[in-house]
Every structure is written in C-alpha cells, then in structure tokens.
C-alpha cells in the first residue's frame, strides 16, 4: 500500500499493527491470525489481539472454525461502521462527563484541587500554552472571571476576540464582570468590533504616547496569559503564550502597564 493510504488509516485511529493487519486482510479477503502474521511480520502473539481490536472498531468480522479466521469488511462499509462506533463512543463519553459534572464526584474533585493549591508555590502555577491549547486556556480564563478582564491586544487579536471569544465575553458581562480592551484600532477594523461594543469598553491606543505592541489578558488581577509570538509571524497552530496564576505578575507587573496604556488611549466611537 502507498504511504498515503497508511497515513490516512493512521489519521482515523488505527495503530501500525492494525493498519498492517487490515491491509493484509483486505488483500486476502479471509485469513487466520497466523497467515496475516506471516504476511505482515506482526508478531504471531499479537495478531489475534489486533484482529479482535479491528472487529471492535468495525473493520473485520470473526469466522468460526479451526484455525479461527477473520473476514475483511469492505472498505466503504468498514469506514461507515467505524464512524458510527466513534459517534456512539463520543456521545457516551460526553454523557458520562455531564453526569460527573452534576454529581458529588465533581464536589470531591473541586475540594481536592482547592486543597492541593494550598501546597503549591505561585511559580508552579505557570506554564506555556501553544496553538489550540492557547485558545482553550483563554476561553477557560474568561469563563472563570468574576470581577474584571483587562486585555491589551493587536488589531488581529481584536478580530479573534470578536470571532472566537464573543460568547465567553458576553457571558462574563452578564455575570457583572467589567471588561476593558485596549488596542491600536485601524478604521477598517471598526466593523469587526461592533459585536464587542455593548460588552466591553474599548479604547484606541495612542502609539505616539505609548509605543507598546503585544497581547496579554489579566483576569481578576490574579491570572495572566501573555503571548510570546506576534500575529502573522507564525501560523495559529504555532502561537505560543505564557500562562500564570501569579498575583504578583498580574497585579504588580502587567496591571500597572495596562493602566498606563489605558490612560493614554481614546474611547472608540462607533
């Protein structure tokens, strides 16, 4: 088989042995674990378990007799079966997560986490986040905000706020959270900002007074997310930021900087 085929099968969740065994089974139609082991060089001791795994995933069917043989499921049908199995597993897992969230288990987990934090030094609550994890982290921070959200960002960052984070900012506003956003705002970006207008107070940075460029968010004066890469320089999957739950970094370092920028910025008029 071509490498493209093997890569595609890997992308849908088949490991190396599963890929080799299924491709060989497709070529044979019906085969025993021993026969497939000889064709693929997969260890004989593993071939039976691999075939059982393929059965569970919808790619093969067991056939009676001695030695036991397995039948290949036609590719189109196999992929459709695999899709349905994954959908069912996904729904079951989501249901289980919701069940845990609404049970006493969640209270126990939260208590464990809260108690654990008492023994953690502030510098330990710091880490690097990249790509999609950066987006997830910022979403989580917005959802956890109780009092205020201060954001310094770029024009590209403003578009992201209005596109990806509007829901979470609106929910924070409804909880009574004060939201302030400072950025250099070209006129062409004003249209993108209209959805944010009723949610956050937005100011346009005077670059002559404050020539600062960058992106960071401060939540409740306790938690920060500061980007280390500039928009446009790297792909979104390569964006990198530092997250920290250090009150010193939030309230003593970045908040004074944000206030300086804020005082030297002008309210945006739509």
When pLDDT is cut at 50, 70 and 90, the band that residue 116 belongs to is low
Would you call 156 helix, strand, or coil by DSSP? helix
The percentage of the chain sitting over the pLDDT mark of 90, rounded to a whole number, equals 49
Strand 201-205, strand 178-183: pairing: parallel
pLDDT the model gives residue 237:
79
Average pLDDT of the residues in 237-251: 87
- pLDDT tens readout for residues 150-168: 999 988 888 888 888 999 9
Average pLDDT of the residues in 241-266: 90
Ordered domains of the chain (ranges, CATH): 3-74 (1.10.10.10), 126-267 (3.30.870.10)
pLDDT the model gives residue 122:
54
In terms of phi and psi (left: phi > 0; alpha: psi -120 to 50; beta: otherwise), the region of 167 is alpha
> Taking the complete model, does pTM exceed 0.85, yes or no?
no
CA-to-CA distance for 20 and 25, rounded, in angstroms? 9
- Give the residue with greater pLDDT, 263 vs 114: 263
């Amino acid at each position: 088989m071509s490498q493209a085929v093997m890569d595609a099968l890997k992308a849908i969740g088949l490991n190396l042995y599963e890929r080799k065994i299924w491709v060989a089974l497709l070529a044979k139609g019906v085969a025993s674990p021993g026969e497939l082991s000889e064709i693929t060089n997969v260890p004989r001791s593993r071939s039976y378990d691999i075939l059982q795994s393929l059965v569970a995933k919808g790619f093969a069917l067991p056939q009676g007799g001695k030695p036991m043989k397995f039948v290949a499921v036609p590719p189109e049908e196999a992929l459709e079966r695999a899709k349905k199995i994954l959908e069912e597993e996904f729904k079951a897992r989501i249901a289980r997560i919701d069940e845990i969230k609404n049970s006493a288990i969640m209270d126990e987990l939260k208590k464990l986490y809260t108690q654990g934090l008492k023994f953690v030094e502030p510098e330990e609550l710091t880490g690097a986040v990249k790509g999609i994890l950066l987006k997830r982290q910022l979403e989580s921070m917005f959802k956890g905000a109780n009092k205020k959200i201060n954001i310094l960002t770029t024009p590209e960052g403003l578009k992201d706020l209005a596109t990806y984070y509007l829901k979470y900012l609106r929910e924070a506003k409804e909880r009574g959270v004060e939201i302030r956003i400072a950025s250099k705002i070209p006129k062409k970006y004003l249209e993108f900002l209209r959805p944010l207008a009723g949610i956050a107070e937005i100011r346009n940075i005077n670059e002559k007074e404050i020539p600062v460029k960058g992106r960071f968010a401060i939540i409740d004066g306790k938690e920060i997310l500061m980007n280390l890469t500039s928009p446009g320089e790297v792909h979104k999957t390569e964006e990198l930021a530092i997250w920290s739950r250090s009150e010193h970094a939030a309230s003593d370092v970045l908040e004074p900087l944000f206030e300086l920028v804020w005082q030297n910025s002008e309210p945006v008029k739509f």
